[in-house]
Structure 1
Amino acid sequence: MCAQASRLSELKLKAAKPKEKDYILVDGDGLQMRVRSNGSRLWNFNYYHPVTKK
């Protein structure tokens, strides 16, 4: 059984401060935001093709 990720809110995104190591905030359904140690933020969306599942 998978744990359900809590949705990201504007407050959570604004409160995301850089740490010593990079970390990832997960929104669910494949959407992620990586917070880098230098303060940059990168969005990532993982998806699968519905027919090929790749």
Structure 2
Amino acid sequence: MSTALQWFKSTYSSSEGGQCLEVALCPQAIHIRDSKNPEPTLRVTPATWTAFTTTLK
């Protein structure tokens, strides 16, 4: 059985939309997509996502 991904965007994104990065978290992968063009998606490992977000801070 397939479970639908729960997509979310940053709380810093405006409510006007159109130019947002959306993320869906799963134990095995982090899914990333462009809100205005949701296909294709990018998938990275949780370790890669952690390294990426740590670098941004």
TM-score, scaled relative to structure 1? 0.41
Larger radius of gyration: 1
Higher relative contact order (CA 8 A, sep 6+): 1
Structure with a larger share of its residues in strand: 2
Structure with a larger share of its residues in helix: 2
